[in-house]
Chains A and B, each alone.
Chain A
């Protein structure tokens, strides 16, 4: 790449505003930041995510390095996780997830998920004043996790506390919470090890038993059962619950959006996809160039990180008409944040099920849901969190 090419592309902060992204897109489809290159447009982002030319350079390891977790037993545990692997090992470790979480399997959970959501809503004592995150968003994924691994539902609050402490500090690059993250990891691992040992004595119809069957069939090793089970604990809840919050915050901040959902409740999945476009949990998807790779006339030099900005790509005016507006009925387009192909989010269908069923049931039971005050989200360099969402259901 020429020095001139590099100088021409816009520079962006890791938490650029939508106005800054829009201005940058006027100049170029690619920008640069302190962490590498930032891909600003939808089609190029999708092309790069789908391309086998790019790898993930050790994946989540780059986040662990950035937060200062570079060595020691906790880092060694993370290095075993699928998010830190590449190549044949990653492909092998994806197999049990693909078996457990393939769309056809997830579809069978619809009844259970609907029952859980109804139960969560029935438990709300004062529908006029609801902490949406604590009373709804947190409860669904944690209860569902307990159901999927056949753990007592009473464990859901503990599961929630542990999962909130392991991954979010890392995703938010919060170095001060690193000790908390590590302590929670060991606590979670102790639970997982005991849980697996119990399941070995009596296999059932649950995720953990299925992982053990994968081991018995030779798909994964004895240790990998524990690793995969840990990754389900780590990764299956905080992303979904924050997206539930981000989705409802996005829908409710402008009443006309929620009215569109009410007018066509059968199209709730499309409404959800619009919220993923406008307000994605994952602000970036990482790729790595191990060699010089040309895309759309631009050469990414070898040994560089490429960050596909879902926040920018989702508002790409060259792809989406009236890009900042919420419109159901747009031509279907895939949410960037779930990734693509061999690095795609293995839990995407399950997350979609939880979010769309929550939307449908709240629309059925509480069509007058509204914000009691402004909601708040926090946009970190990697992810967005829903920090505050207070609603009245009636």
Chain B
């Protein structure tokens, strides 16, 4: 399948089409799922687009960089599957990616 599968905080699953080059944050935002505030518009400055990626996908994603990791440190819900969705850029390689919106701090 193409696109991504997003589970909200209430546990509702959404299958969303993805366009190559868009960030996962933008895909979620454009689908009208407003649980992600993404206050900085996707420039890795605010940490309000925190998601968990599926175990299988963790190693396939680009490496987490210093700024992203620093921002995630501010969350009480960080785990080893945590990412900022604005830093995940959709491509065919991510087709079928399963993510869950992280709990509110």
Interface residues, chain A, with chain B CB atoms under 8 Å away: 98, 102-108, 110, 264, 266-267, 269-273, 332-335, 338, 348-349, 352-353, 356
Contacts and interface: CB of A to CB of B under 8 A. Distances in A.
Interface of chain A, main secondary structure: helix
B34 interface: yes
A349 B74 CA distance: 13
Interface residues of B, number: 25
Most A Cβ at <10 Å: residue of B32, B34, B39, B71: B39
B42 A270 contact: yes
Contacts, number: 77
Best-buried of A102, A105, A269, A349 by chain B (most CB within 10 Å):
A269
A334 B45 contact: yes
A141 to B, nearest CB: 16
12 contacts: A98-B74, A102-B74, A103-B48, A103-B74, A110-B37, A267-B30, A269-B40, A271-B41, A273-B43, A334-B45, A349-B39, A349-B45
Q: Is the interface of B mostly helix, strand, loop or mixed?
A: loop
B104 to A, nearest CB: 7
B89 to A, nearest CB: 10
Contact of B41 (A104, A332, A338): A332
Contact of A104 (B23, B29, B38, B105): B105
Contact of B34 (A98, A105, A266, A273): A266
Contacts of A102: 47, 74
B39 A352 contact: yes
A326 to B, nearest CB: 13
A267 B48 contact: no
Nearest to A344: B45
B41 to A, nearest CB: 4
Given A266-B30, A266-B32, A107 B45 contact: no
A18 to B, nearest CB: 23
Contacts of B41: 267, 269-273, 332
B94 interface: no
Given A110-B37, A332-B86, A104 B47 contact: yes
B4 to A, nearest CB: 17
A104 B44 contact: no
B10 interface: no
Contacts of A110: 37
Contacts of A356: 39
Contacts of B40: 269, 273, 332, 334, 349, 352
Given A103-B39, A269-B41, A352 B46 contact: yes
A345 to B, nearest CB: 10
B76 interface: yes
A266 B29 contact: yes
Contacts of A334: 40, 43-45
A267 B29 contact: yes
B75 interface: yes
The 8 closest A-B pairs by CB, nearest first: A104-B105, A269-B41, A270-B41, A332-B43, A332-B42, A103-B47, A273-B41, A352-B39
